[in-house]
Chain A
Amino acid sequence: MNVPSNLKFAKSDEWFDAASGAVGISDYAQNQLSDIVFVEILVEEGEEVAAGKIIASIESVKASSEIYAPASGKVSAVNKGVSDKPETLNSDPYGEGWMIKIEGGSAGDVMDAAEYEKFCEGRTH
């Protein structure tokens, strides 16, 4: 399981990069969902989002999931690429697979990488 140490993580498996404002889903989450076939981003550039608000909806071959904002702030960019190629979320969740950027974002209820790693280990059954 890949958990980059510079990122913060929400309990609902989103990551937030405080430096760039980027948001995506964790390697753990993409692995649980398996092959992702549909990504719909539900917020637009310029929109204000509050931490905990639904920002995207994802479907894989066997599951579906809502994605929540891990931080509050203004949406400064939306990655259209992931809607066109949903599999990017599987292949590169922390890179090309970023979903939106939140500007001036203040993180919501998030953990650091070490805490998140422990949190995930506790969940595997």
Chain B
Amino acid sequence: MTYIPISPNERDAMLKEVGVKSLDDLFDAVPKKHRFPELDLPRALTEMEAAALLGEMATTNENVHDHLVSFLGAGAYHHYIPSVVDHMLRRGEFYTAYTPYQPEISQGTLQAIFEYQSLMTHLTGMEVSNASHYDGATAAAEAVNLAYAQFRGKRRKIVLSPSLHPQYREVIRTYTQGLDLEKAGDGELADLEAGPEALTSLVDSNTMLVIIQYPDFFGRIYDYTKLIEDAHAKGSLVCIVANPTALVMLKTPAEMGADIVVGEAQPLGIPLWFGGPYLGFFTTKKSYVHKMAGRLIGETVDNRGQRSYVLTLTAREQHIKRERATSNICSNQGLLALASAVYMSTLGKTGLQQVANLCYQKAHYAASELSKIDGFGLCFTDPFFHEFALCCPRPASEVNEYLLEHGILGGYDLGQDYPSLANHLLVAVTEMNSKQEIDTLVEVLKEME
């Protein structure tokens, strides 16, 4: 089955116009000995067969909608997505368009992304947002690129909080392989109970950026104002990696003085989808806009006096700056930025506050009930949002195996990344978890062993 709308007669007429005899004759420039390989691939399926095959593969999975009760988060969260979001995404006018390089016939995408930028700036409190990055982790890595460009390589140290998502720290390390940077803060001996001020002593006159997470990987809420003040006193920039659902409730990173606020916007209307595509957001202060990577949409007027939108400050980007650009990003997450804009608009201020409050309340109920079980307890005492580290009487991997037998995805096994937390589960609770599910989790754990 193909999607080629050309009949044999038309093909022959076209070949004649081109002046060749057959389709194969179009490829004379290709080295003969490698031309027309036989590809060892399965035979073509019809649409009906493909639908059946994919349906079967999908049902082989156990999913958190039909089979499993999930308390797994760690950077990807199961939230309710209003029906309207996907209805808008399924409009061919949005999803089959390219990057809006021709603004006269792309105002739909341009205004929608401009609104996304606006929603993100109002949510984080920052002054500007770009049009998106691949995901939260790469957005954090791009924050390093911004800082590097800002100091023109004269400062070469970054301080990473040990309670920044382990995968984000890995991605930052991959991205900065060519920059020869000193990295501090997240060594094996890092004290996970020390508050954010513990990082202050690592910030020196060579430090270009401090990266912290809010709420942190363990769900804890800290006011980073003091740390940021101290980092600024040393001339360093500070980037906060934030969870957007938590921002609905909590003091904004802007109020704490952050220079860059990035994060994963998957919780804003994007399905779990086995990890992607998600949506990296990137917001900062206006003064850093020229050093920020990624596309930007700005307001203007057209020659008919109509308010309209265009890609702006494009001379920062790879197609003009080439090897001097701070980032090579081209395609971004446009359609998912639209998804999050529709999500935020539909839930609106009130709906979002309800979601944040439900996450908070249910997580606290779960934490309080779980910590009553013999042998279980909360690892940290700090305020938290919708995720917390639960200390278990056995290795977390064993607890998870036991829970899975009862149809429960227990949480993230923290021992994978933190050897000192081998008996700890990172438990996430959202509006999708009913009291009954939480009670079941508690009951099942009570019966363990």
A and B bind: yes
- Residues on A facing B (Cβ under 8 Å): 37-38, 40, 42, 59-64, 66
Residues of chain B within 8 A of A40, CB atoms compared: 290
Q: Is the C-beta of B324 less than 8 angstroms from some C-beta in chain A?
A: yes
B321 partner residues in chain A, CB cutoff 8 A: 64
Within the assembled complex, what's the spacing in Å between the Cα atoms of A40 and B287?
12
| Contact among B152, B315, B320 with A38 in the assembled complex (CB-CB below 8 Å) | B315
11 contacts between A and B (CB under 8 A): A37-B313, A38-B290, A38-B315, A59-B313, A59-B316, A61-B314, A62-B320, A63-B315, A64-B316, A64-B320, A64-B321
Bound complex: CA of A38 vs CA of B152, how far in Å?
A: 17
A37: chain B residues within 8 A (beta carbon): 313, 315
CB atoms of B315 and A62 under 8 A apart? yes
A39 nearest in chain B by CB position: B290
**Interface on chain B toward A: helix, strand, loop, or mixed SS?**
helix
Determine if B324 and A66 form an interchain contact, defined as CB atoms under 8 angstroms apart. yes
* Chain B contacts with A in 313-371, Cβ cutoff 8 A: 313-316, 320-321, 324
Partner of B290, one of A42, A59, A60, A63: A59
Which of B290, B315, B316 has the most chain A CB atoms closer than 10 A to its own CB?
B315
User: In whole angstroms, what is the CA distance A96 to B269 when docked?
Assistant: 51
Nearest-neighbor residue (CB-CB) of B310 within chain A:
A61
In the complex, what residue of chain B is closest to A33 when comparing beta carbons? B315
Least CB distance, A44 to chain B, in whole angstroms: 11
Is B152 touching A42 in the complex (CB atoms < 8 A)?
yes
Residue of B nearest to A58 (CB): B315
Residues of A within 8 A of B313 (CB): 37-38, 59
Q: A59-B313, A59-B316 are in contact. Are A64 and B324 (CB under 8 A)?
A: yes
**Cα distance A61–B298 when bound, in Å?**
13
Interface positions, chain B 352-392, Cβ under 8 Å from A, are none
Specify the chain B residue showing the minimal Cβ separation from A61: B315
**Whole-angstrom CA separation of A60 from B313 in the bound complex:** 8
Residues of B within 8 A of A60 (CB): 315
Report B-chain residues with C-beta under 8 Å of the C-beta of A61.
Answer: 314-315
Give Cα distance in the complex from A62 to B314, angstroms: 7
**Which residues of chain B are near A63, meaning CB under 8 Å?**
315, 320
Q: Give CA–CA (A40, B149) in the complex, Å.
A: 12
Smallest beta-carbon distance B326→chain A, Å: 11
A64 B315 Cβ-Cβ under 8 A: yes
Q: Cβ of B152: which chain A residues have Cβ within 8 Å of it?
A: 42
Interface bits B282-324 vs A (CB < 8 Å: 1, else 0): 0000000010000000000000000000000111100011001
Measured CB to CB, the nearest residue on chain A to B320 is: A64
Q: A63-B315, A64-B315 are in contact. List 20 more A-B contacts (CB 8 A).
A: A37-B313, A37-B315, A38-B313, A38-B315, A40-B290, A42-B152, A59-B290, A59-B313, A59-B315, A60-B315, A61-B314, A62-B314, A62-B315, A62-B320, A63-B320, A64-B316, A64-B320, A64-B321, A64-B324, A66-B324
